[in-house]
Structure 1
Amino acid sequence: MQFLKDSFDRLMAAYQQQPYPQLQQRQMQLKALRRQLLQQKPALLAALNADFGQRSHSDSQMLELLPSVSSIDYSLKQLHKWLKPQKRHLSWLFLPAKNYVVYQPLGVVGIIVPWNYPVFLSLGPLVAALCAGNKVMLKLSEYTPQTNQVLKNIIETALPDTALVIEGDAAVAAGFSQLPFQHLLYTGSTAVGYQVMRAASANLTPVTLELGGKSPLILAPDADISQMAERIVFGKTANAGQTCVAPDYLLVPEDKLKQCVSALQAEFLRFYPPAQFAHSYPAIINERHYQRLQHYLTEARAAGADIISCLDVTPQQQQQRLMPLTMVLNAPLDSALWREEIFGPVLPVYSYRNIDEAFAFVQQRPRPLALYLFSDNKALQHRVLQQTHAGGVCINETLMHVGQEDLPFGGIGPSGMGAYHGKEGFLTFSHAKAVHQKGRLNASILAYPQHRAKVFDKLLNWLLRT
Structure 2
Amino acid sequence: MDMQAILEGQKAAHLRDGEASAELRIERIDRCIRLLRENRAAIEDAVNADFGSRSREATAVTDIAGSIGPLKHARDHLRAWMRPEKRKTTPAILGLFGAKAEVRYQPKGVVGVISPWNFPVNLTFAPLAGILAAGNRAMIKPSEYTPATSELMKTMFGGAFSDEEIAVITGGPEVGEAFSRLAFDHLIFTGATSVARHVMRAAAENLVPVTLELGGKSPVILGRSADLQTAAARVMNGKTLNAGQICLAPDYVLAPHDRVDGFVDAARASVAQMFPTIKDNPDYTSVIAQRHYERITGYIDDARAKGARIVELKPEGEDFSQQEHRKIPPTLILEPTDDMKVMQEEIFGPVLPVKSYRTVDEAIAYVNGHDRPLGLYYFGDDAAERETVLTSTTAGGVTVNDVIMHVAQEELPFGGVGPSGMGSYHGADGFREFSHRKAVFSQIKKDIGPLKALRPPYGPGIRKFLAAQLKG
- Under a length normalisation based on structure 1, what TM-score does the superposition of the two structures give? 0.96
Cα 1:355–1:52, aligned 2, differ >3 Å: closer, same or farther?
same
Aligned partners of 2:415 and 2:421 also within 8 Å: yes
Counterpart amino acid of residue 295 in structure 1: G
Please point out which of 459, 467, 470 is paired with 1:461. Answer: 467
Distance 2:456 2:284 in 1: 79
Which segment drifts farther, 31-40 or 325-334?
325-334
Matches within 5 A, 1:314-393: 314-315=319-320, 318-393=323-398
Counterpart amino acid of residue 128 in structure 2: L
1:460 Cα deviation after fit: 3.4
- Equivalent residue number for residue 67 of structure 1: 66
Cα 1:97–1:261, aligned 2, differ >3 Å: closer, same or farther?
same
Cα 1:456–1:373, aligned 2, differ >3 Å: closer, same or farther?
same
Please point out which of 230, 234, 243 is paired with 1:231. Answer: 234
- Equivalent residue number for residue 429 of structure 1: 434
1:184 Cα deviation after fit: 0.8
Please point out which of 120, 123, 139 is paired with 2:122. Answer: 120
Cα 1:297–1:99, aligned 2, differ >3 Å: closer, same or farther?
same
Cα 1:270–1:331, aligned 2, differ >3 Å: closer, same or farther?
same
Matches within 5 A, 1:110-259: 110-160=112-162, 161-259=164-262
Aligned partners of 1:278 and 1:317 also within 8 Å: no
Matches within 5 A, 1:391-410: 391-410=396-415
Which segment drifts farther, 215-224 or 325-334?
325-334
Distance 2:467 2:168 in 1: 61
Distance 1:450 1:289 in 2: 70
Please point out which of 265, 289, 305 is paired with 2:308. Answer: 305
3-state SS of 2:281 partner? helix
Distance 2:209 2:134 in 1: 16
Distance 1:430 1:225 in 2: 44
Counterpart amino acid of residue 252 in structure 2: Y
Counterpart amino acid of residue 7 in structure 1: I
1:40 Cα deviation after fit: 0.9
1:464 Cα deviation after fit: 3.4
Identity %: 42
1:93 Cα deviation after fit: 3.7
Distance 1:398 1:315 in 2: 28
Q: Which has the higher helix share?
A: 1
Distance 1:375 1:385 in 2: 12
Counterpart amino acid of residue 455 in structure 2: P
Name the count of aligned residue pairs: 465
Gaps of 5+ in 1: none
1:331 Cα deviation after fit: 2.8
- Equivalent residue number for residue 41 of structure 1: 40
- Equivalent residue number for residue 11 of structure 2: 12
Distance 2:51 2:464 in 1: 75
Distance 1:145 1:416 in 2: 26
Q: Deviations over 1:294-321 (max 9, x none)?
A: 1111111111211111115434764411
Aligned partners of 1:33 and 1:159 also within 8 Å: no
Output the aligned Cα RMSD: 1.7
Cα 1:423–1:395, aligned 2, differ >3 Å: closer, same or farther?
same
Aligned partners of 1:19 and 1:107 also within 8 Å: no
Cα 1:317–1:14, aligned 2, differ >3 Å: closer, same or farther?
farther
Gaps of 5+ in 2: none
- Equivalent residue number for residue 81 of structure 1: 80
